[in-house]
Every structure is written in C-alpha cells, then in structure tokens.
Structure 1
Amino acid sequence: MASFSYEAHDSAGRRQRGQQEAQSARHARQLLRDKGLLPVRVCASNASSQPGSPTVRRQGLSTADLTLLTLQLSTLIQAGLPLEEALHAVEAQAEKRQVGQLVAAIRARVTEGYDLASALGAYPRAFPDLYRATVAAGERSGHLGHVLERLASYTEARQLSRQKIQLALVYPAILLCASLAIVGFLLGYVVPDVVKVFIDSGQPLPLLTDALIAVSTALRDYGGVLIGLFAGLAMLARWGLQHPELKRRCHSAFLRMPVMGRVIKAMEAARFASTLAILGKSAVPLVDALHVSAAVIGNVSIRERMLDVARRVREGETLTRSLERGGDIPPLMLHMIASGERAGELDHMLERAAQQQEKSLAASIALIVSLFEPAMLVIMGGLVLMIVLAILMPILNLNQLVH
C-alpha cells in the first residue's frame, strides 16, 4: 500500500491534514469519507517523508532541535490545541527540512490512532528511551504539556552541561595537536638538515644525537606506515568495542584508571540521578524509571550494576540500600537519596543530588584541565630541549677538538 497526503474538512468544517495508507488515491478518498472527513486534496506522498520509510527512520535530531521541538509542542498543547494540530503547527514552523519530515511522519501515525509515545517509538534514533518513557507518563497522567515543558528544560540543561565539558577540553586538545605537529615537523624536516653536517664530518656523535637521528629517519621513512598503523589500530579498537564482552572488559578497565575512572563514575552518577529525577517527576513508576535510567548510562559495567539495582528494588529492597550495594554512587549522593526516601521527596532530592554531582564533576574537570595545560607545556619544553641538546652537543665537541 502507498501513502497519500491529504487535506480534508471534518464535520465542524475544520481543515485537517495528514497521511493515509491506501491502495490508490480513490481508495484513500473513500477511507477518509469513512472517517467522516470531506477530502479536498489527496496526492501521493514523497517517499522520503513516508512514515515507514527507512530515510525517516534513520534520522536523528540534535539536542538543540529536540529541545526546540519539545518546547514548541509543550507550548501549543498547554494552549489547548489538539495533539494533531499542535504537531501540524510544529511541522509548519520547522526551519530544517529533516525536522519537518520527521514531525510529519509522527503526525501521520498519530492521525492513524497511535498515541504520541508509540508514534515516537518508531524513530528511536531521534527520540531516546528517556524521552519516550517521559512522554508516555505524561499521556497517562493527562498532563502532557507540563511534562513536555519539564522534559525540554531537562534536555536543555543536559546540553549546556555537555557543552561546558566540551569547551573545557577544546584548548587542551588544540595544545596537544599543536605540540605533536611542532615536534613532528622538527624531527621530520629540521633535524635531518642540521645533523647532516655532523654525519658528514665523520666524528663520533653523542648517544642523544644518534637517538634523535634514528627517530628522525624513522619518521621520514616510515611516517606514512606509522599513520596507517595507528589508523588500523583505531579501526580495530572500534570494531572490538562492538563485541559485548570485550566492550564490558574495556569499560571495566576504564573505571580502574586513577583519574579517568573517578571522572567516569561521577559523570554516570549525575546522568543516572538526573534521569531518574525527571522520570519520577513525570509519574513513571520507580522500577520502570530505574530501567530507563540504567539504559542511558554509557559505561556497560555501571549499566549492568544499575540493572541489578532495579531488580533488587522490584524485589522489595530500598533504593538507597540497592545503590549502596552497587558501589557506583558517591556517599554524599547516597545520603541525599536516603533523606529523600525517608521524607517522601525522592524526586526533589535526586534532582538536587544530580545538580551537586554535576557541579563537582565540572570542578574536577576544570582542575584536570588546569593541570593538563602546564604539564603539556613542560613536556613540550622538555622535548624541544632534548632536540636542542642533541644538536648543540656535537657543536661543543667540535669546538673542543679545534682548541
């Protein structure tokens, strides 16, 4: 069956737009009449915007696009517009074509009788598990507009937090790349021309100069091979991380690293707590919220332990005790969660714990970055000093021979 776009009037004279699956345009008009609609225009849909087309299903949304879409939909629904009309308005306001196509596909499924969460479930790359679970809870509670507004704020806050971390890492990354490029240029092009004079003189060279010449020769002769080797190792590592068992072992090894492990744990703890808080405020049952919160965790080892936490809570254990046994939540967050459980304000305390953890994480990353910059300068200075000494030592030996 093909998909047809239509415009029609309902019994109240309001204009309706949507998608209709049918064998032909005539069949589509008949189906619309059976629904009590008077078709005005029916035409075949573009294949790229059909609800079930692979192109639309593969589409993703940036965090900024998802936040804007959610805010628009929340505002329109709280203003009293029906869901189908709100989706149509969002589609019309979309500046990007792919966003408009995606919203049109969702609206078509809603028109066919699906609820919004089920319609979003057809496009998991654009709408993650957390988003769909929150929307489903909002539909069940009858407060979809308020839930979407809260979800938009959460998505925007997560994006701002991610941007802060990325901006903090930009300068160290540039510094590292510049240092490698400078050292590579010196060893590959400058050093060989300078030390050629000493080689032609036939005098014995210092060990440091010999080592520098060997490294420089290797870079010039095998530089392409080394780059290809590193690229091959990167591709091999990427392929290996797709294997579940190898990925789990690598993630476990990351957690055991002195600095990286602590940062990863803090990051995942903040993500877990903030996700659980937004789901709890949206009236998602705790066990279901724990499963969704575990699914958004990136580290496989921590994710498995959080799924065990959900299992123990389902069996009757308290959330605080289950998280304490998992060992991935910092003590301060555990105390705050325990206080929330005792006072009946778990969602509020989870949100505060997530905010506190994100502040602590930002401070830790800022400290690491502040230490990384002078360390890179010292290492860079040391490498340049070694190159200068390797060049100066033969000159000093020549001067001693002359005198």
Structure 2
Amino acid sequence: MGVYTYEALDNKGQKKKGVLEADSPRQLRQKLRADGLAAVAINEAEEQQQKSSGETTTPRKSLFVRRVSDSEVALVTRQLATLVAAGIPLEECLRALAQQIQKPHLKSLISSVRSRVLEGQTLADSMAAYPRAFDTLYRAMVAAGEKSSHLDTVLERLADYTEHRQKIKGQLMQAMIYPVILTLVAIGVVTALLTTVVPTVIEQFAYMGQKLPAMTQWLIAISDFTRNYGLHIVVSILILLVIRQRMLKKTAIRIRHDRLMLKAPVAGNVFSSIDCSRFARTLSILTSSAVPLLEGMKISANVLTNTHMRDALKQAADLVREGASLWRALEQTQLFSPMMLHMIASGEKSGELTAMLSRAADNQDQQFESQVNIALGVFGPLLIVLMAGVVLFIVMAILTPMLDLNSMVAG
C-alpha cells in the first residue's frame, strides 16, 4: 500500500488537497469518488517515489519532514502513546493517528511510517527514514520500548521530554526578545538623531559662523561618520556574519568557538546550564528505558548544541567504558557543577541514578531560569543608562553652543 497526495474538486467546484493511502491510483480515485470528490491530480508521495526508483531517502529530499515542529512531534507522540496503551495493534494505531491529523505534511509523514511498518520494519527503523522529525534520541527510546514491550510508557516519557524541550526553547526565545528589541530601538533612536536632527541643528551654527565647543565638534564628526559610512558598516557586519557561519562549519573552528562561548560572561553560564540539563535529562530518560549506560551517554552527548561539550562527554563515555564511575568521568570534563556531580555520585551509590539524573536536570533548569532573570535584570537598566548617557551627550552638545550664543547676544 502506497501513500499518495491528491487534488480533487467537490460538488461545489472547490479544490481539496490531501494525503491518502491506497494500493494504486485507481483505488484512490474510487475512494475519492465515494466521498463525492472528482480527482484532478494524483501523485505518489516523495518518499514513495524515491523508494520505487531506488534512491536513498534523505532529509533534504523530504519536504514535509522539515516542517514538523517539536510541538507537533510531542502531540503525535502523546496521541500514539494513548492508542498503544489501549492495546490496539501498532498498524491500527498509526492508521487512526493519520486519519485524525489535519495537517497534510504531518499526515503524509505518519502514513509513510505506517507503510514501512506494514512492510515488516520496526517502528524505530521506520522512523529512521525521517531524522529531521525523529532524532537519534527519539528513535533509540522507541527501539528500547519495542524491545521491552513498554512502548506506551516510553512514548509518554518522550512526549514529556519533547514538551519540556519546547518549553525551555520558548523561555530562551522569550528571554532574548526583550533585550533584542530594546537594543534595536536604542540603536534606531540614536541613528535617527545623528543622521536627521543633529545635521539640521548644526547647519544653523555653521551658517552663523559661530565657534563650536569640542563636545559639539565631536558630535559633528560622529554624525558625519554615521551618514557617510553607516550603510557600509551594516553591510560589513552582514558579510562578517555570513563568513562566521561558513567558518563555523569547520569542526576545529566550531569546537574552539564553542569553548570560548562557555567562557563568556553570563551567557556562558546560561548555555552551559541548558546543555548540562539536557544531558542529564536525556540520560535519565534513556537509562529508565533500559538503554545501556554507554549507549545512553553517546546519544545524550549528540543532542547537545555545544560541540566542545559534546566531545568532552564522548571522552567521558570512553572513561566509563574503561571502568570509571559516571560521576568521576563527568568530573574530568570540568563542565558540571559540584552539586550536580554530588547528586550523580549519590545516585550511583544508592542505585537510583535515573531519579538523581532527573533531579539534577531540574536543578539545572532552575539555575538557568535564575541566570536568565539576573541577566535580564542587569541588561535592561544598563542599556537604559547607556541610552540616557548618549542622548544626554547629544543634547548637551547641541545646547552648549546655543547657551554661548545667548550669552553673546545678551552681552
């Protein structure tokens, strides 16, 4: 059974689009006709075309996978967990899930996974064809759930994890919006003053031939520089950003860059807290799903965004393979706080590593929130003070020659 996309017209002549499963285009036309639709165009799903032509499915060639968000994955996972827990066969669960999904790209994704399951593949192997939607952690946990016959429980944990990851990402974005908008407004106000207001006022002083104080001369120089080279500076910054992104594609440069990012004031602690929490929470979920510790450490390291931390944790996994305890290996990385290491060590000694890892992740999340609040509490007032200082400089540079002129007229 294949997956097809279709365009059809209803009785009112309105165009309908969707995704359906059928043995052939002819059967699909019959299904559409039974629903009162007249088929206009029927095409095989892109993944189906690649499979029939012998091409390897890659993330770049699967357009619908790229549009699947974390929130959509979490919703699908939660619904699938509910269906599996009800004792419904997996193929029927995927069919019911695809039928109730409204978004075409998501319906096509689930239908394609179901087609692979019908061919005899496991759910984890079926999802492996879509790594942009189902990452390494997701597939490893699904595989562990299938082996242990606790797929519903694992899917519930995955849904919780995906929702939590989306929450952290939302908090980070929300934390960045305020300072970014405040910075852009400050730059825009100062630029407007330097390029429009200041030149108009200064022309009056130049027309009268008045000798200007040093502060006003500095302001004129800054204004002239901004008007003459402002656009060049913006273009240069954009070019540097593009060059930076290209340079970061090189592994050695990316590792060095990420190592420096961890040393940045305030921001370094925030990035470190996020990745440490992500590592601990991921490892907790994997160990609770019966994934071996070494495999869990490698998978947990791969979900980190900082390449320096990723490499350091992979080296820690090698130490564990050689017989070192988990907390000793993590201590060698010098990435984790003493409190977090103490909690992991306690978990290893008491046999409650999974619970302690989860608790350590919660602790890191609280630390992340407090650091973000502190950073915002410091950045906002500092930027306002800086902005007030710049505006005060501009106002004084304009008022000083005016006051001097009034003194001369009065004298």
User: TM-score, normalised on structure 1?
Assistant: 0.88
Tell me how far apart the structure 2 counterparts of residues 379 and 312 of structure 1 sit (CA, whole Å): 49
In structure 2, what is the equivalent of residue 201 of structure 1?
208
Quick one: distance in 2 between partners of 1:278 and 1:388?
Answer: 59
- Uncovered stretches (5+) of structure 2, i.e. residues with no partner: 5-19, 28-40, 51-56
CA deviations over 1:225-281 (Å, ceiling 9, x no partner): 222111111111111111111111111111222322222221211111011111111
Distance in 2, matches of 1:120 and 1:374, equals: 48
Match of 1:114 in 2: 121
Equivalent position to 1:76, from 59, 80, 83: 83
Q: Post-superposition shift, 1:57?
A: 7.1
Determine the C-alpha separation between the residues in 1 that align with 2:313 and 2:2: 45
- The aligned counterpart of 1:308 is 315
Q: Is the 8 A contact 2:3 2:112 kept in 1?
A: no
2:336 alignment partner, SS class: coil
Question: Which structure 1 residue ranges, 4+ long, deviate > 6 Å from structure 2?
Answer: none
* Unmatched tracts of structure 1, length 5 or more: 7-16, 29-42
Separation of aligned partners in 1, 2:25 and 2:190: 68
Q: CA deviation at 1:108?
A: 1.1
8 Å Cα contact 2:195/2:227 also seen in 1: yes
Contact 1:5 1:44 (8 Å CA) reproduced = no
User: Which residue in the other structure is 1:153 paired with?
Assistant: 160
Counterpart of 1:32? none
Identity among equivalent pairs (%) = 41
Residues 49, 101 of structure 1: 8 Å contact kept: no
User: Quick one: distance in 2 between partners of 1:326 and 1:19?
Assistant: 53
- Paired with 1:329 and 1:222, the residues of 2 have a C-alpha distance of 45
Match 1:48 to one of 46, 49, 67: 46
* Paired position in structure 1 for 2:369: 362
Partner of 1:240: 247
* 1:392 aligned to which of 360, 375, 399: 399
Q: Separation in 2 of the partners of 1:322 and 1:51?
A: 47
Paired with 2:160 and 2:48, the residues of 1 have a C-alpha distance of: 30
Which residues of 2 match residues 3-402 of structure 1 at below 5 A?
4-5=2-3, 45-48=43-46, 50=48, 52=50, 54-56=61-63, 59-402=66-409
TM-score of the superposition, structure 2-length normalised? 0.86
Distance 2:83 2:65 in 1: 27
How far off is 1:58 after superposition?
A: 5.0
Residue by residue over 1:182-239, the C-alpha shift from the partner in whole angstroms, topping out at 9 and shown as x without a partner, is 1111111111101111122222222221221122222223332222111111111111
Question: CA–CA distance in 2 between the matches of 1:340 and 1:169?
Answer: 35
Bigger mean CA deviation after superposition, 232-241 or 194-203: 194-203
CA RMSD of aligned residues (A): 2.2
The answer to whether the 8 Å contact 2:247/2:253 transfers is yes
Whole-angstrom distance in 1 between the partners of 2:82 and 2:131: 23
CA deviation digits over 1:272-297, x for unaligned, max 9? Answer: 10111111111111000000000011
Q: Provide the rounded CA distance (Å) in 2 between the counterparts of 1:377 and 1:5.
A: 57
Contact 1:88 1:107 in 2 (8 A): yes
